[in-house]
Amino acid sequence: MLQTMQKLKVIVICGPTASGKTELSIELAKKINGEIISADSMQIYKDMDIGTAKPKKEEMQGIKHYLLDFVSPDTRYSVAQYKIDATNAIEEILQNGKIPIVVGGTGLYIDALIYGIEYNDIKIDEQYRKKLEEIEKEQGLEKLYEMAVKIDEEAMKKISKNDKKRIMRVLEIYKATGKTKTEQEADSRKNDIKYAFKVFALNMDREILYNRINLRVDLMLQKGLIEEVKKLKEKYNKFPTAMQGLGYKEVVAYLENKTTKEEMTQKIKMETRRYAKRQLTWFRKNKETIWLDATKGKEYNVSEIINYIS
């Protein structure tokens, strides 16, 4: 018990997309002398600002942010690397006498930190990946999903049938290590956790959240999301992961004349709402999470967080 009490606190603010995590975290950081570490798997990428809702410099209000805008879109970036980078950022913030605030909606990133899960960087078997791509082309993504369920049914309960990236990850982990993703996570959760993570999650009425998501998509398109994707395609030759992000793959389909602008817009909204639902399901599995009502406003919730961590 004494060992746990001596651990330094790290605050985590998670929740679905468009729930107000950025505003809340900045307001909290101002009040408690904190600095922010992003836990967003898309905001890491350079030149991808509009579609990822990356906070602008003026929005940050002088609060230092880590792990934003530092990976080239043509580069692979793993959960294992994120854990290393985020841990280094936590240490730097603590050494500077400030409080680390981890903020984002990527459950895999957050779990890697708060549970100490070791997502080992497996070497990509290009031949196996090519084989999986051929199966998808010939039999559809549903076939890969079925293969993954047979290997790791537990992991697949949290993965959408449309999430090609994570479906392939489950298959590749098993091929490379002989262990399922679930087995690897169970093994690594036995490790001691260095910090005392205090996890808060934002939630709101589903209809309000979905309306906020729809509005955000409209604003992204008004701000120039299509132009952003055009520039990315011109600047970079390949996108191992980046263009699989919500909003980006749909715009690419539109630019390739595979869909109309209206269909593209509705698809982005629909997929983002589905993603938000999956995020909420993911974060609910942590029984120690403290849930906050986002509709009560950032000032109210800042006070709530401060009361919990005092």
* 180 and 197 fall within a common domain: no
Contact 28, 13 (CB under 8 A): yes
User: pLDDT (tens digit, 9 = 90+) per residue, 231-244?
Assistant: 999 999 888 788 98
pLDDT of res. 271: 96
Percent of the chain having pLDDT more than 90? 71
Report d(CA 168, CA 83) in Å as an integer.
21
User: pLDDT (tens digit, 9 = 90+) per residue, 136-145?
Assistant: 889 989 999 9
- Extract the tokens encoding 305: 């967080």
* 140 and 288 fall within a common domain: no
pLDDT of res. 3: 42
Count, in order, helices (H) and strands (E) of the chain: 15, 6
Range of the domain at 151: 126-186
pLDDT of res. 191: 67
Name the domain count of the chain: 2
- 169's enclosing H/E stretch is helix 164-177
Amino acid at 212: R
* 36 and 109 fall within a common domain: yes
- Identify which has the larger pLDDT, 163 or 36: 36
β-strand partners of 292: 202
| Mean predicted confidence (pLDDT) in 280-289 | 90
pLDDT of res. 239: 85
Residue 299 clears pLDDT 50, i.e. is over it:
yes
pLDDT band at 122; cut points 50, 70, 90: low
Report d(CA 290, CA 303) in Å as an integer.
13
Which residue do the tokens 């991808």 mark?
48
Amino acid at 195: Y
User: pLDDT (tens digit, 9 = 90+) per residue, 83-92?
Assistant: 999 999 999 9
* 108 and 92 fall within a common domain: yes
Contact 292, 304 (CB under 8 A): yes
Positive or negative: CA dihedral 75, 81, 83, 88: negative
pLDDT of res. 14: 97
* 98 and 235 fall within a common domain: yes
pLDDT of res. 259: 96
pLDDT of res. 174: 86
β-strand partners of 34: 99
Average pLDDT, the chain: 91
Query: Worst-scoring range by mean pLDDT, 110-119, 263-272, 286-295?
Result: 110-119
* 200 and 258 fall within a common domain: yes
* 105 and 167 fall within a common domain: no
Give me the CATH number covering residue 153: 1.10.20.140
Radius of gyration of the chain (CA): 20
Instruction: Give residues with Cβ within 8 angstroms of 290, minimum separation 6.
Output: 198, 199, 200, 201, 308
User: pLDDT (tens digit, 9 = 90+) per residue, 159-218?
Assistant: 888 888 789 888 988 888 788 888 877 776 666 789 999 999 999 999 999 999 999 999
pLDDT band at 17; cut points 50, 70, 90: very high
Residue 71 clears pLDDT 90, i.e. is over it:
yes
pLDDT of res. 118: 74
Residue 5 clears pLDDT 60, i.e. is over it:
no
pLDDT of res. 189: 64
pLDDT of res. 157: 83
pLDDT of res. 121: 62
pLDDT of res. 188: 63
pLDDT of res. 4: 43
* 176 and 194 fall within a common domain: no
Give me the CATH number covering residue 263: 3.40.50.300
Domain termination site, one of 151, 186, 221: 186
* 201 and 296 fall within a common domain: yes
* 176 and 206 fall within a common domain: no
* 69 and 209 fall within a common domain: yes
pLDDT of res. 184: 75
Domain termination site, one of 167, 186, 205: 186
* 107 and 7 fall within a common domain: yes
- Identify which has the larger pLDDT, 121 or 244: 244
> SS3 letters for the chain?
CHHHHHCCEEEEEECCCCCCHHHHHHHHHHHHCEEEEECCCCCCECCCCCCCCCCCHHHHCCCCEECCCCECCCCCCCHHHHHHHHHHHHHHHHHCCCEEEEECCCHHHHHHHHCCCCCCCCCCCHHHHHHHHHHHHHHCHHHHHHHHHHHCHHHHCCCCCCCHHHHHHHHHHHHHHCCCHHHHHHHHCCCCCCCEEEEEEEECCHHHHHHHHHHHHHHHHHHCHHHHHHHHHHHCCCCCCHHHCCCHHHHHHHHCCCCCHHHHHHHHHHHHHHHHHHHHHHHHCCCCCEEEEHHHCHHHHHHHHHHHHC
Contact 180, 173 (CB under 8 A): yes
